[in-house]
Structure 1
């Protein structure tokens, strides 16, 4: 401990000495010495530049005597100076222009004496006829002490320079010199205005003039390398959402101003030399969220996360406990129950804590934002851009008897393993172009030597991979993984079972080891009603086949069907089409899309057209498509897909990257499954946490008058998605952006508008207190009204 105190004392002494030395430099009437330290940016003037005299520090201390009014007074202000070693990085801003000349004469100073022993020093020459006036500001103990104190404070706040990165030390130097040459207000008796540096006209070499002019035009030229790389990364991310983003026009019509957000973030980067990687990540997340699009997203490489073993949910303006993980929080530890009100969270009213999360993550559709914030209130994942807390958190809980209790829980915290703020590398190019990866590599584009039909299917699969599995919320896979890891929590997005309790007397139920949750129940009127839960649309062929088998049995044994897609993150377009083919006995029309296409789409289209032109292809393609995508297709599918390919090429030829309306892959209708399809009344449960395919599924059923929708409006994630990775040095794992914007048959977009239910139902406080009893009654009443009454 004594050694640590001694080291700290030595550091303080060194800082004090350096502070005094710097203070003397700026208030001394010997301007050449001060100018050697502070050297502000040169100012162009005709073919010369007005700049302070730039001389090295060495050999100047002996000249302090000139102009000092009371030598004794000055000495009394100076501490006993220990030898000071200044880091090489603590120097005047490195982006300054330099000038070459042969000699220097300044009033009251011998240049030869000052420069002696400094072989590498630069010198400057006054322009012909220029006069040099030394500052007449007197130096006294009071002035030196005041300036020294403020400089010492700056050094103390910065900590040991030798432990910092080079660019951080440079930034500290910039801060000190900026303070010394312009940081005084001049209003305090204790802090004099800084002395003026001696200025003279300096003849410029052409390169020097260009450098000075460049700095005047572009202040960003003096940024440190981390700032420059941050700006390059920001520019690249911004270009994705302005050049490859299909809904841009729609967003601009509805008040989204990406340019303003971009400019604000750019300014923050420029104004913050020591910005951490986390701060920069947060700014990028802010930019992406400003699109007001639930399909757009950014993810980061991070292992940090924290969770509380409970879920809190809002109803009628108040927040209640909806779930407690009793494996981690026993009743003895936490004697509070589902339905108890959570009045405060982390020292704030719970509603205010929710609003803080909404503001931090970006505002879009109000109802969806609030429900997402509920999830994030007790589960924070840095991978999604959330700030992750740790340690204790306080809650105020009101029990059913009206008594309020203060409770402290501990975040289950997992720390960060991925290193942060690693110094960036610079390859020497200020404008580095990043290569983007859309998941469409050469293996996808170069069709292997296989059968003609398989070649076409391979080409189609390559294109489908641009849409799958990302036709979903950008965090859909995270939601799905969380749901699988915490199967008891039925409020998680993508959970196998939803929070809707059993709706009646269960006569049959799907085994729990199956991927789908389904059962048949008898309602109060004696009718047999089927219930099927669709947690997401990220299923594969086996799930689609199981769904078809289930529907075939429900068609035979039930009078009506309830489909529950609450909290659905979306998924695969073709998987969704496959399920829909089982729910109709008539073709279902589907939305059209405007696509933002590029040369990679055209390349795929050309490959498709070339292979499909070969003899005997069509029949094999239909067969392969049925097997590959589990679609109910007809013999005209090949022509539809080829029409889609031709459309893409024609649009680009016509100069349209944002195309006219067209059906994705040419599929304008979903044909009924030839064997398994449901023909009886259907009720579809929807809510604000239905995304993407979770929007399209109810939209298609509603547009075709095939089902009655009940609940609240869906999120409005109305397009197809592309996900991409790109090389960067700031921990960015993935970007997701919307490459199509869909339009329903009535001309209405789904984006931001969602799908409005036919029967509106929002959860009540009584639902959260009494196992959703009101919701169960409303669902049963709705399906009962839809099912024909049994004949007497």
Structure 2
């Protein structure tokens, strides 16, 4: 309430000044120190991207050159975006939002309209239709505008970055884009009509809601930054043993915010239509999953969608998933698991689902943690609690080994080895007795993120089934929220670890490494949903293609 009142007074009174140069420098330094103390992938970014986030001289020069608070916030965004890490992000307190009433994404390399709100943009004003191409925006080629927007949506995967930037062409929240309020009352867009090939220009009004901020106000007395630390845990997981609570913040592996304008992102319903003859079992509503079966060439195929790894109740969702696997084991010949457009969630929950689709002991992903004194204390608390709660001796031994690794890394000011973050303390997990044992494939795409990277990585590493789709987003760590600055009150989310795979991955773009960060999970079979044919036909070609693949897996070909 105090913050909202301050924003209101700032807007209502022309007497408030912007932050001073000294306050900007202080805030930037605080943000940089937060990353210096906690950012797990630091050495990987130096090695893979040739970017050193601790070289502050050029950034301080940019901060000093800013003429107002908005420019200062844009420098902060540039600094974090240079990490090319979708977990590392900033958030602002603005409620202002400008939208145009239609969404865009990149299909076959072109920016196409993929949904239109006809209440906001009636046919009489905007006769373009889904599937038409957006060619220019505000008098600039659309590609040039996407270039400018990429820094607000930078993630580990270049194609995903570009797609997410295309999504915010028509949606401008100030909580993401500090300069969002600078949009005019209207914008001119140029569209190539798919049916005729003709270029048409329209002048469309922005729909604006919320209150915009233009400066942050002057805070005359230095605020107390001595008690800054991680914010409250963002993801709750009621399936965790009580002794795991001290390290529960390390179990968040999720995009900081759901992308704007991505169709069916994190939704129970898939982006594509169901096959002919599909019989629903779980169908949304109060169901966390969607599931069902269909018959092709005499084979019964099971299908289940995992919209995210952040259910309202992990314990309840695990029971439902296990029940579905038991049904599929008795009634299907093969299984399709859809983890596309998945923002991630809880590491513990994704491992629990993996234990129900991998019917043998398997190696999960480890985490190289940026060790700090607070995390050493947290691991010590886990170990102490496990002993108090009577955990089995082998579990206590694993947890003790993990604690010693964190303690040693903290003393040396570095990162740990590859540690398990599950309640057993082990990188080897045992299957559920009801695990699905028949052939399966898992669908993933370039906006399967974080725990959405984790799930297909483990399936692929352990040879459980083929990954079908597109290279995942490449967000390979856990994320923790901090108060990123003092005067400007910017929230920061910091990646504190690196997910580590079973074996190093060789790519043309990056050094060979066993990391998920930036590298992502490369599919065994590439199948790209992002085509105009799929957009216009509710994904029929995509469904036919993955159905053919699971039939081949069933037949053993």
State the TM-score bracket (shorter-chain normalisation).
Answer: 0.7 to 0.9
Q: Summarize the Cα distance change of 1:570–1:604 in structure 2 as closer, same or farther, 3 Å threshold.
A: same
Q: Is contact 1:256–1:292 with CA below 8 Å preserved after alignment?
A: no
Q: Summarize the Cα distance change of 1:253–1:726 in structure 2 as closer, same or farther, 3 Å threshold.
A: closer
> What CA distance in whole angstroms lies between the structure 2 residues aligned with 1:356 and 1:702?
36
Question: Do residues 572 (structure 1) and 367 (structure 2) align?
Answer: no
Question: Do residues 473 (structure 1) and 251 (structure 2) align?
Answer: no
Please give the TM-score of this superposition, normalised by the length of structure 2.
Answer: 0.86
Q: How far apart are 1:261 and its partner, in Å?
A: 6.7
Q: Which residue of 1 aligns with 2:197?
A: 402
Question: Do residues 593 (structure 1) and 350 (structure 2) align?
Answer: no
Q: How far apart are 1:490 and its partner, in Å?
A: 6.9
Query: What residue ranges of structure 2 are gaps of 5+ in the alignment?
Result: 1-12, 505-513
Q: Summarize the Cα distance change of 1:759–1:260 in structure 2 as closer, same or farther, 3 Å threshold.
A: same
Question: Do residues 736 (structure 1) and 483 (structure 2) align?
Answer: no
Q: How far apart are 1:339 and its partner, in Å?
A: 1.8
> What CA distance in whole angstroms lies between the structure 2 residues aligned with 1:510 and 1:327?
32
Q: Which residue of 2 aligns with 1:643?
A: 401
Q: Is contact 1:521–1:528 with CA below 8 Å preserved after alignment?
A: yes
Q: Which has the higher contact order (CA 8 A, sep 6+)?
A: 2
Q: How far apart are 1:328 and its partner, in Å?
A: 4.1
Query: For each residue in 1:279-327, what CA deviation from the matched residue of structure 2 results, as whole angstroms up to 9, or x when unmatched?
Result: 2111111111111112111111110112232222222222222222345
Q: Summarize the Cα distance change of 1:714–1:722 in structure 2 as closer, same or farther, 3 Å threshold.
A: same
Q: Summarize the Cα distance change of 1:324–1:544 in structure 2 as closer, same or farther, 3 Å threshold.
A: farther
Question: Do residues 366 (structure 1) and 125 (structure 2) align?
Answer: no
TM alignment of 1:647-686, pairs within 5 A:
647-653=405-411, 655-665=412-422, 666-674=425-433, 676-686=434-444
Q: Is contact 1:503–1:521 with CA below 8 Å preserved after alignment?
A: no
Q: How far apart are 1:576 and its partner, in Å?
A: 0.6
Q: Is contact 2:85–2:154 with CA below 8 Å preserved after alignment?
A: no
The match for 2:177 among 371, 385, 391 is 385
Q: Is contact 1:532–1:562 with CA below 8 Å preserved after alignment?
A: yes
> What CA distance in whole angstroms lies between the structure 2 residues aligned with 1:691 and 1:710?
15
> What CA distance in whole angstroms lies between the structure 2 residues aligned with 1:499 and 1:410?
29
> What CA distance in whole angstroms lies between the structure 2 residues aligned with 1:715 and 1:766?
23
Q: Which residue of 1 aligns with 2:142?
A: 350
More strand per residue: 1 or 2? 2
Question: Do residues 699 (structure 1) and 453 (structure 2) align?
Answer: no
> What CA distance in whole angstroms lies between the structure 2 residues aligned with 1:641 and 1:265?
41
> What CA distance in whole angstroms lies between the structure 2 residues aligned with 1:647 and 1:257?
27
Three-state SS of the structure 2 residue aligned to 1:530 is strand
Three-state SS of the structure 2 residue aligned to 1:744 is strand
The match for 2:72 among 257, 280, 285 is 280
Query: For each residue in 1:562-620, what CA deviation from the matched residue of structure 2 results, as whole angstroms up to 9, or x when unmatched?
Result: 11111111111011111111112112211222211111122223333444445xx42xx
Q: How far apart are 1:417 and its partner, in Å?
A: 5.7
> What CA distance in whole angstroms lies between the structure 1 residues aligned with 2:242 and 2:68?
44
Q: How far apart are 1:706 and its partner, in Å?
A: 0.9
> What CA distance in whole angstroms lies between the structure 1 residues aligned with 2:29 and 2:452?
32
Q: Which residue of 2 aligns with 1:294?
A: 86
Three-state SS of the structure 1 residue aligned to 2:402 is helix
> What CA distance in whole angstroms lies between the structure 2 residues aligned with 1:437 and 1:661?
24
TM alignment of 1:4-83, pairs within 5 A:
none
Q: Is contact 1:286–1:362 with CA below 8 Å preserved after alignment?
A: no
Q: Which residue of 1 aligns with 2:508?
A: none
Three-state SS of the structure 1 residue aligned to 2:519 is coil
Q: Which residue of 2 aligns with 1:415?
A: 210
Q: How far apart are 1:517 and its partner, in Å?
A: 4.4
Q: Is contact 2:453–2:473 with CA below 8 Å preserved after alignment?
A: yes
Three-state SS of the structure 2 residue aligned to 1:698 is helix
> What CA distance in whole angstroms lies between the structure 1 residues aligned with 2:515 and 2:159?
18
Structure number with larger C-alpha Rg:
1
Q: Summarize the Cα distance change of 1:340–1:509 in structure 2 as closer, same or farther, 3 Å threshold.
A: farther
Q: Summarize the Cα distance change of 1:583–1:425 in structure 2 as closer, same or farther, 3 Å threshold.
A: same
Query: What residue ranges of structure 1 are gaps of 5+ in the alignment?
Result: 1-161, 169-224, 442-453, 483-488, 623-634
Q: How far apart are 1:247 and its partner, in Å?
A: 1.2
> What CA distance in whole angstroms lies between the structure 2 residues aligned with 1:356 and 1:726?
24
The match for 1:463 among 212, 237, 247 is 247
Q: How far apart are 1:512 and its partner, in Å?
A: 3.2
Q: Is contact 1:714–1:754 with CA below 8 Å preserved after alignment?
A: yes
Question: Do residues 561 (structure 1) and 335 (structure 2) align?
Answer: yes
More helix per residue: 1 or 2? 1
More off after superposition, 777-786 vs 398-407:
398-407
Q: How far apart are 1:364 and its partner, in Å?
A: 5.2
> What CA distance in whole angstroms lies between the structure 1 residues aligned with 2:198 and 2:385?
73
Q: Summarize the Cα distance change of 1:163–1:499 in structure 2 as closer, same or farther, 3 Å threshold.
A: closer
Query: For each residue in 1:158-214, what CA deviation from the matched residue of structure 2 results, as whole angstroms up to 9, or x when unmatched?
Result: xxxx9766x78xxxxxxxxxxxxxxxxxxxxxxxxxxxxxxxxxxxxxxxxxxxxxx
Question: Do residues 783 (structure 1) and 550 (structure 2) align?
Answer: yes
CA RMSD of aligned residues (A): 2.9
> What CA distance in whole angstroms lies between the structure 1 residues aligned with 2:402 and 2:519?
27
Please give the TM-score of this superposition, normalised by the length of structure 1.
Answer: 0.61
The match for 2:62 among 240, 252, 268 is 268
Q: Is contact 2:137–2:189 with CA below 8 Å preserved after alignment?
A: yes
Q: Which residue of 2 aligns with 1:690?
A: 448
Q: Which residue of 2 aligns with 1:104?
A: none
